[in-house]
Structure 1
Amino acid sequence: MPLPAPPPTHGPTGPAEPAGSRLTADMVVDVAAAVAPAISPDGRLVAYVVVANGGGDGRPHGSLWVTTADGSTSPRRLTDGTARDLAPKWAPDSASLFFTSDREEPGAAQLQRIRLDGDEDIAKAEALTRWHGGISDHCPLLDGRTVALLAEDERREAGRDDVKVWGRHLPVTRLRLLDLETGVLRTVDGLRDRHVVGLAQRPDGGPLAVLSWSTPELDPGVVTAELHVVDPVTAGVHDLGPVGVEAQSPAWWNHDGIWHLAHLAVTPGHLVGELAVMDTVPPATGPAVGQRNLTAGMSVSPAELVQVADGPPLALFADGLDTALYRLHPDSLRFHQISCTPGMLAGLTANRSGETVALLASTAYEPRNVHAGPTGGPLVRLSDTMPELRGICWGVQERLGYQASDGLPLDGLLILPAGRSRDDGPFPLVTLVHGGPYFRHADEFTLSVVDCGQWLATAGYAVFLANPRGGSGHGHAFAATVVGAVGGDEWTDILSGIDLLVAQGVADPERLGISGWSHGGFMAAWAVGHTDRFKAALMGAGISDWGMQAGTGDWGIVDAALGGGTGWESPGPHAHDLHSPLSYASRIRTPVLILHGEEDTNVPLGQAIHFHRALRHFGVEHEFVVYPREGHGLQERAHQLDALRRIRAWYDRWL
């Protein structure tokens, strides 16, 4: 799927850095990002959201935009960006857009509609719901009169009546059907008290495919997923039974008059591993039988599955450093590649015929923007949200291919200091480890608080973006290797890449740093307990104790599978202690910067506090920073600025 060439001034091969174009933390934080593309059913228009800082609450807001899919007209802004306007979805007739917005009450998203029949600069939005619990997702139905909503139960907080009974402390999201003429909301009671996480209507206007969990809690929610078929007229429910871990993205498709229902889930029989595309033919009655893995044995990793009304589904696959578009062949029941694009593709959306797609695309020097075009390409760039970055001289980004110590082929990326070549080395090197661990560094533009490759490169650092085993893009076996063995082979994979860059004269062995967030933060903490080679480390929202993580983190049972246990299975010693950075704190001599959100439930703040106290006990130089109101990532502008400046200052001090 060819992409348009980037402008000649964007990137390290362009002219010398113009005056006044030095990259600042404010520029990084204040860039506008295109998200959530949605192509109209008729394929003529593409809507998307532009998210930017600048709101009075210090958090990002979103504005809705629309443009022609062929790029023949300039994008038109539909909303003013003063609220969180998100999740655009088209009406079946392509004449209006539904989206969610918290413009009436900050933090409580409601369903809105814009009719595209005016030419005013900012279109008038019509509020369609006043649901106190807020709307988390929506699906306009093909009858044109109904919208299926995922809406939370109302919360009890008035007058401090907010006692939390564990197991019932999170609001359940239920399937509700909104009649657009009367405004009446019906709850689909046949799903009982299950928490609904995904839905899709059959393309002939028939039933809804609905995915649910037993509870809103990730643990045990992700391992209790079930699939249902719901009649949108009668609200009758047909239970198809249990499906795999992390089930998501239901998609209908028809072959020879028979309706199939596919979805994404972790490879059957595993808690941790590659996502797979699972498929079944829903029976007229009773549970589904004979689910098939349509991606078994593939060496690439399905990332997104998209329903196409008039044909088999499309899917994006992580393919090493790149992303490929595939279509399911209905006869062979196998996915066939249509195209492969350097870098990252995401947010795939297709028109009714499946002949035209819109998505987000990013390459080494081009940030994510909306592109659209024929399914086989070429694609036209429709958005241009960060033109101010074109004056920056970026570090050259190289693709790396090398072998692990056991011979396993690996890939990664190297970003050289801006304006420098390999001949100018060796350089101070910061290794960035991705989170997950089921994630990857693609050959895309890296400029954020978490993926701060170019932020460091413009400050004179070489940056190694490592893709150790456990991540996506290389098949199930590659992804599942880390189960019960985190910090093992994935750690030596990272070392092999660093050793290669030292041997090639790129990295100065006396000025090495390591950095990561989430699972990458765990790896940074693990690294400094196993070697003194690093002169500085950053642990962002990282895990220090896998037993505590299994007992207190959102993912519970999945984290227990990664770390090797929970702690309650026996008096010990426990397998997870062998994989916990805390167990090796007495060995640490490397200065460590710890950054963590105070309200993080994915990796609770206690992980950072525990590690901080261990470092303090052993007299290790470190700095511990907690960001109020933040979860597993940083959203508030002031916090993002602080983190970017603090990270650079930390490496400037020690490297």
Structure 2
Amino acid sequence: LSIWSFAWSPNSKQIVFQGTDTPLTDDSYMFKKIYQISIEEGIPSLLCKTEGKLGPMAFSPDGNHLAYLGAVSLNDPLAQSLFVVPSSGGTPKNLTENFEGSGHNLYWLDNHTVLLLSTEGVQNTLRKVDIRTGKMKLIYSNGPIITSLSLHRKSGKFAAIANAPTHPSELFVGTVKKGHLTRLTHTNPELREIKLARQEVIEWEGADGWKIQGILTYPLHYQEGKKYPLALQIHGGPEGVSVNGWRTRATYPVQILAANDYFVLEPNYRGSGGRGVAFSKADHDDLGGKEFEDVLAGIDHLVKMGYVDNEQVVTGGWSYGGYFSAWAATRHSQRFKAAVVAAGLTNWISFAGTTDIPHEMSLVHWNSYWLEQRDLHWERSPLYHIQNANTPTLIVHGLKDERVHPEQSLELYQALKLKGVPTRLIMYPREPHGLREVPHMVHFINSVISWFEEHVKKKAEPHMNKYIN
């Protein structure tokens, strides 16, 4: 067995661990099981039956129960539901059925109460959950976005890492009783000298009348009544989620785009996390379908509001966000002035043969394998629609990417060149699924801004220094 995580019982006589038969990445995503082993006997056995993804787990203080985050089925995109099971084994109980949120981590407050850290919509929350009744009590829902915490059970005090629209991650302290955070650190004091663009949560009506949320960042020097270009920055997954905290990083330069006079929309389309199991499963066997209609509806909403010039819409994103941008530049090319496709999927069939997660991508996103629905998987590939492509497209990839193989970018690049569409290919050496090296990060940001400025505003040499006020 390959062991991915473990928890030691309070009396030190039992260990539970999550294991798989083989040490493959795909197995660690999809096929982990929970085992228990007695320290005296040393022979592992299954603790309980689980199906699909597994997340954090912990013993109750008295050692009588194990709580864990897990999927409700093999095709659940996230280990987002809270389960509890006797530490001696048995049938797990789902404490969060019909919960319109996605659990991230759990912490025992006492033998009967779990503190659950979740995303609900665009906010991270803390809730007390009674393991006997499943009753939940909200204790924190507004303020900085908590990403992790360390709990002192006896006092109810905790330390937390959290971020907000005005700052990246900082250290906070709080109490379960009051549900309020106090900031302790200011590790980026230079931000006090920088004017940041306004950021807010917006909602619009997506396909089938569904309520869709997103994060909207205004142009830095926004003037009411003036129409601006719009830059989509689309999260990956698709079960990722954009929350209302600090949004700017090297791969998603939100504030830098805003400083260059773009509205920036980060849509949480159906299939995203943070809205419960049903919402995250809602794109099954319809990738690029109604989930992308949700995005197009967001654009239409901003156009109707008078914020955005419909002829100046651009898009960018990584991984599944890269797929959406490639889909925009091909299937929906008439809507987009320019695109940045970063580590994006462009051919669902060849992707399945080169990725390190063929089971995960097929089971929890498509809910089928390409060989079972070949025509659908090919029709939802950006390359299928290459004859419709006219959108200038910057393509970016890391040469050490095992998740989305660089050949996906090569396929799109070659096809766009054959079609005569303006395109550029950047391959970063040593980089995996994302960017790790600072020179590559800086180069990517400048390349994105330059590409958009060239093809939207017809300017030659913008620079990210424009961000500094």
Q: TM-score, normalised on structure 2? A: 0.91
Q: Tell me the CA shift for residue 244 of structure 1.
A: 2.8
Tell me, yes or no, if structure 1 residue 416 matches structure 2 residue 221: no
Do the aligned partners of 2:114 and 2:131 also contact (CA within 8 Å) in 1? no
**In structure 2, C-alpha distance between the alignment counterparts of 1:653 and 1:559, rounded to whole Å:** 35
Do the aligned partners of 1:433 and 1:520 also contact (CA within 8 Å) in 2? yes
Structure 1 segment 51-450 matched on structure 2, within 5 A: 194-232=1-39, 235-253=42-60, 259-272=64-77, 275-283=80-88, 288-308=89-109, 312-342=113-143, 344-353=145-154, 355-375=156-176, 376-421=178-223, 423-450=224-251
Match of 2:416 in 1: 615
CA offset digits 1:449-500 (Å, max 9, x no partner): 2222112111221111111110111111111011121101110100111101
Q: Which amino acid aligns with 1:243?
A: T
Q: Tell me the CA shift for residue 201 of structure 1.
A: 2.0
Q: Which amino acid aligns with 2:303?
A: V
Q: Which amino acid aligns with 1:379?
A: L
CA offset digits 1:58-87 (Å, max 9, x no partner): xxxxxxxxxxxxxxxxxxxxxxxxxxxxxx
- Equivalent residue in structure 2 for 1:625, among 426, 434, 441: 426
Tell me, yes or no, if structure 1 residue 486 matches structure 2 residue 287: yes
Do the aligned partners of 2:29 and 2:360 also contact (CA within 8 Å) in 1? no
Q: Tell me the CA shift for residue 596 of structure 1.
A: 0.6
**In structure 2, C-alpha distance between the alignment counterparts of 1:517 and 1:591, rounded to whole Å:** 17
Q: Tell me the CA shift for residue 441 of structure 1.
A: 0.8
- Equivalent residue in structure 2 for 1:601, among 389, 393, 402: 402
Q: Tell me the CA shift for residue 326 of structure 1.
A: 1.1
CA offset digits 1:209-266 (Å, max 9, x no partner): 2111222212234332111223456645343255232212111126xx6711121122
Q: Tell me the CA shift for residue 632 of structure 1.
A: 0.4
Q: SS in structure 2 opposite 1:436?
A: coil
Q: SS in structure 1 opposite 2:97?
A: coil
Q: Tell me the CA shift for residue 311 of structure 1.
A: 5.8
Q: Which amino acid aligns with 1:529?
A: T
Q: Percent identity?
A: 27
CA offset digits 1:333-375 (Å, max 9, x no partner): 3433222124521112212426011222122112221111212
Residues 1:342 and 1:489: Cα distance change in structure 2 (over 3 Å): farther
Residues 1:476 and 1:585: Cα distance change in structure 2 (over 3 Å): same
**In structure 2, C-alpha distance between the alignment counterparts of 1:575 and 1:462, rounded to whole Å:** 34
Tell me, yes or no, if structure 1 residue 539 matches structure 2 residue 341: yes
**In structure 2, C-alpha distance between the alignment counterparts of 1:445 and 1:297, rounded to whole Å:** 29
**In structure 1, C-alpha distance between the alignment counterparts of 2:375 and 2:108, rounded to whole Å:** 45
Q: Which amino acid aligns with 1:511?
A: Q
Match of 1:529 in 2: 330
Do the aligned partners of 1:304 and 1:348 also contact (CA within 8 Å) in 2? no
CA offset digits 1:69-120 (Å, max 9, x no partner): xxxxxxxxxxxxxxxxxxxxxxxxxxxxxxxxxxxxxxxxxxxxxxxxxxxx
Residues 1:228 and 1:274: Cα distance change in structure 2 (over 3 Å): closer
Do the aligned partners of 2:251 and 2:444 also contact (CA within 8 Å) in 1? no
**In structure 1, C-alpha distance between the alignment counterparts of 2:366 and 2:421, rounded to whole Å:** 25
Q: Tell me the CA shift for residue 307 of structure 1.
A: 4.1
Q: Which amino acid aligns with 1:524?
A: S
Q: Which amino acid aligns with 2:346?
A: S
Greater mean deviation of Cα atoms: 507-516 or 236-245? 236-245
Q: Which structure dedicates a bigger proportion of its chain to helix?
A: 2
User: Structure 2: any 5+ residue segments left out of the alignment?
Assistant: 457-469
CA offset digits 1:27-68 (Å, max 9, x no partner): xxxxxxxxxxxxxxxxxxxxxxxxxxxxxxxxxxxxxxxxxx
Residues 1:310 and 1:477: Cα distance change in structure 2 (over 3 Å): closer
Do the aligned partners of 1:277 and 1:295 also contact (CA within 8 Å) in 2? yes
Match of 1:507 in 2: 308
CA offset digits 1:392-436 (Å, max 9, x no partner): 111111210121131111111211111324x05201110111111
Q: SS in structure 1 opposite 2:105?
A: strand
Q: SS in structure 2 opposite 1:313?
A: strand
**In structure 1, C-alpha distance between the alignment counterparts of 2:111 and 2:172, rounded to whole Å:** 22
Do the aligned partners of 2:248 and 2:255 also contact (CA within 8 Å) in 1? yes
Q: Which amino acid aligns with 1:315?
A: L
Q: Which amino acid aligns with 1:199?
A: F
Q: Which amino acid aligns with 2:235?
A: H
Q: Which amino acid aligns with 1:272?
A: P
Tell me, yes or no, if structure 1 residue 475 matches structure 2 residue 276: yes
Do the aligned partners of 2:9 and 2:63 also contact (CA within 8 Å) in 1? no
Tell me, yes or no, if structure 1 residue 451 matches structure 2 residue 252: yes
Count of aligned positions: 453
Do the aligned partners of 1:274 and 1:475 also contact (CA within 8 Å) in 2? no
Match of 1:576 in 2: 377
Q: Which amino acid aligns with 2:252?
A: D
**In structure 2, C-alpha distance between the alignment counterparts of 1:500 and 1:462, rounded to whole Å:** 13
Do the aligned partners of 2:362 and 2:370 also contact (CA within 8 Å) in 1? no
Q: Which amino acid aligns with 2:273?
A: S
Q: SS in structure 1 opposite 2:337?
A: strand
**In structure 1, C-alpha distance between the alignment counterparts of 2:385 and 2:4, rounded to whole Å:** 39
Q: Which amino acid aligns with 2:299?
A: I
**In structure 1, C-alpha distance between the alignment counterparts of 2:168 and 2:31, rounded to whole Å:** 37
Q: SS in structure 2 opposite 1:495?
A: helix
Do the aligned partners of 2:53 and 2:74 also contact (CA within 8 Å) in 1? no
Match of 1:32 in 2: none
CA RMSD of aligned residues (A): 2.0
Structure possessing the higher radius of gyration over alpha carbons? 1
**In structure 2, C-alpha distance between the alignment counterparts of 1:216 and 1:417, rounded to whole Å:** 47
User: Structure 1: any 5+ residue segments left out of the alignment?
Assistant: 1-193
Greater mean deviation of Cα atoms: 560-569 or 445-454? 560-569
**In structure 2, C-alpha distance between the alignment counterparts of 1:343 and 1:587, rounded to whole Å:** 43
Q: Which amino acid aligns with 1:533?
A: R
Q: Which amino acid aligns with 1:362?
A: N
Residues 1:622 and 1:304: Cα distance change in structure 2 (over 3 Å): same
| Structure 1 stretches of 4+ moved >6 Å | none
Q: Which amino acid aligns with 1:219?
A: D
Do the aligned partners of 2:69 and 2:79 also contact (CA within 8 Å) in 1? no
Greater mean deviation of Cα atoms: 485-494 or 527-536? 527-536
Do the aligned partners of 2:225 and 2:306 also contact (CA within 8 Å) in 1? no
Q: Tell me the CA shift for residue 320 of structure 1.
A: 0.8
**In structure 2, C-alpha distance between the alignment counterparts of 1:393 and 1:351, rounded to whole Å:** 37
